[in-house]
Amino acid sequence: MLFGRYINQYYLKYALFFLIGIAALLGVDYLQLLIPEYLGEVVSILQNNGDTDRIITLGLYVLLVAGGLFLGRFIWRVALFDASFRIETDLRKRMFLKAEVLPRQYYHENKVGGVMSWFTNDLETLSEYFSWGTLMLVDAIFLSVFTVYKMINLDLVMSIICLVPLLLIVVWGALAEKFIMNKWQERQKAYDSLYDFAQENFTGIRVIKAFVKEVNEIRAFAKVARKNADVNISFVKLSVLFDVFIEVVIALIFAMVVFFGGWFALSFINGTPVILFGHAIELKADKLIEFIGYLDILIWPMIAMGQIITMRSRSRVSLNRISAFLDTPIVVQSPANAIKLEAVTGEIEYRNFNFAFPNSSQESLKNINLKINTGESVGIIGKIGSGKTTLVNVLLMIYNLEPGTLFVDGHDITTLDIHSLRDHIAYVPQDNFLFSDTIQNNINFGLSDGTLESAKAGAEFAGVADDINHFSDGYQTITGERGVTLSGGQKQRISIARAYVKNSPILILDDSVSAVDSKTEEAILHNIANERKDKTTLVVASRVSTVAHMDKIIVLNDGQLEAFDTPKNLLKTSPTYQKMVKLQELEREVEGGQYDGR
């Protein structure tokens, strides 16, 4: 059996399935032992000039046994495989729920390909153990015990001749298990690397094609695949060596039974039975046939014993990998007695706020002090790497923060229920992730009761309605994985529409209009000003024109707050803002226009 903190509960939860399956297996094992008895009796009848009626009766018995075997095997397959699939489903659901609450940092440190292999390859390995492994374990124990008991009752000496070599299989299995586990661990790691490489290439296929690097990537993939193949071949060699040893031992046992059994039976027929340890061996021909029948039945449990050792070794490795994933601590979570936000107004305040990413000694934000009032539209600008995205991301509690440094509606953010906090924030990230679903469902993603009308309203707000109407399937157009069928500007605007229809008191746009033309940008900003007058809006931008008409602008410089004021005042007080305005004026002059910085 396989035990672990995350699977022990399933033996009790699905005990009925396991009990029915094991009971059916025991019935099958018992019925199999009747066939050698019937064969031995048939040989005995033929030796004594045959009772035809009895032979016919025995034939009917064999047919009944065959029917019982069919029914029993059907029952145990349904019961055990159903239990294994249910366990796999429960574990996958538990892993998925765990994956949802793990912090972003975890996915920076662990590649997606490796995580996916735990959800597929390792779970399938465990599922296989709960189905076929249970079968092999029951047969290896009970069928072996039943068969050996029958063999000993038939002839003790012949049984000893068979059983002594069988002990070699047990010893060999104990020695080989650790080596098999190590090889399987190497095999799984190689599989993770292969999965990682393939996933990364499929995700970046457009870049690969754009730079005409298909041949290079194929060669690189060939190296990873070759390493994976070499590790798999190494594992298979060890498994085959283990299986071959068992097959050789079984063949030797058969040869010994045929040789010694034939000698004993012939000596008895000639009237000179063999004497061993003062005991005359009286082995008749019918008993020899019956004994060989039992030995034939014993072959499967011996093979199963070898396979269960290999399968258990693989399953232990897979369980350890899954357990390590489920044991990952949830670093960011709601505190005990967390406050659930209701009727949020959108007031945000940073008090001596400092932030450094996990495992980093350098602070990304330093001594930030500012207050955003309810209903204000605030722009955030600064050089690349100045901390603009970090300043808004911390509002979503993606990372743990110092208590007493960040407040929403006067509540310390570290005391809030994370789900209720995020429920009151609509967020448009830089990468504009879209699901492989219809445009309508992507826009209505944040709504529990989204309709076509709500999707259209969001599209109108984001200036993408005309684009969608030109698609052949309109709002039912499938965006493809990560929105692959759409342009960068279309993805950005659909992401903005998704945030808008959520109608949250706080809206965050993280450089979300960088891929649209200036006319569309102005339309979106105009809609924000008109339709979100009483709601707080934060806009991270790389262009001054994007935030020039906001109520206030936050200017960051190397993680520090350089200024927080109206655009007009910043032209007098902020060197960074002044420089950005001048650079944009030069750009406008080159393009033949003018820009006043307001």
Domains in the chain: ranges and CATH: 8-174+249-325 (1.20.1560.10), 335-424+506-521+534-562 (3.40.50.300), 429-503 (3.40.50.300)
| Residue 49 burial (10 A CB sphere; 0-12, 13-18, 19+) | exposed
Structure tokens at 134: 């249970």
Q: What is the Cα–Cα distance from 282 to 264, expressed in whole angstroms?
A: 7
β-pair type (411-412, 406-408) = antiparallel
Return the DSSP state at 438. B
List the one residue out of 141, 122, 180, 465 whose CA is nearest residue 305. 141
3-state SS class at 196: helix
Residue in the structure block whose two tokens are 């984001």: 462
Q: What is the Cα–Cα distance from 395 to 405, expressed in whole angstroms?
A: 11
Q: Which letter, b or e, does each residue of 352-369 get, where b requires 16 or more Cβ atoms within 10 Å of its Cβ?
A: ebebeeeeeeeebbbebe
Structure tokens at 204: 């970046």
Q: What is the Cα–Cα distance from 96 to 89, expressed in whole angstroms?
A: 10
Q: pLDDT 10s per residue in the chain (598 long)? A: 778 888 889 989 999 999 999 999 888 888 887 887 777 777 777 767 667 777 788 888 888 888 988 998 899 889 999 999 999 999 999 999 988 888 777 877 777 777 888 888 889 888 888 888 888 888 778 878 888 888 888 777 777 777 777 777 767 766 776 777 778 778 878 878 888 888 788 777 878 887 888 888 889 889 988 988 888 888 888 878 877 877 787 788 778 878 877 887 788 777 777 776 666 777 777 777 777 777 777 777 777 776 777 788 788 888 988 998 999 888 788 888 888 988 888 899 999 999 988 777 788 899 999 999 998 999 999 888 888 888 999 898 888 889 999 999 999 999 999 888 989 999 988 877 888 889 899 999 888 888 999 999 999 988 888 888 888 888 898 887 777 778 878 888 889 899 999 888 999 988 887 767 778 888 888 888 888 888 899 999 888 888 888 899 999 988 899 889 888 888 888 888 888 888 877 766 665 555 454 4
Rounded CA Rg of the chain: 37
Total count of residues recorded for the chain: 598
The answer to whether 410 and 347 have CB atoms below 8 angstroms apart is yes
Residues 6+ apart with CB under 8 A from 192: 111, 113, 114, 117
Residues 6+ apart with CB under 8 A from 84: 127, 128, 129, 130, 131, 134
Q: What is the Cα–Cα distance from 60 to 71, expressed in whole angstroms?
A: 17
Longest Cα–Cα distance of the chain, Å, equals 123
The answer to whether 370 and 552 have CB atoms below 8 angstroms apart is no
Structure tokens at 161: 């001749």
Q: What is the Cα–Cα distance from 464 to 274, expressed in whole angstroms?
A: 97
Structure tokens at 588: 């406008």
The answer to whether 491 and 477 have CB atoms below 8 angstroms apart is no
Residue in the structure block whose two tokens are 């029993």: 72
Structure tokens at 223: 């190296």
> What is the pLDDT, as a whole number, of residue 303?
73
Query: Which contacts (CB < 8 Å, 24+ apart) does range 515-518 have?
Result: 515/487, 515/488, 515/489, 515/491, 516/463, 516/489, 516/492, 517/489, 518/545
List the one residue out of 523, 585, 575, 572 whose CA is nearest residue 549. 523
Q: How far is CA 88 from the centre of its chain?
A: 11
CA angle 361, 366, 368 (to 5 degrees): 150
3-state SS class at 384: coil
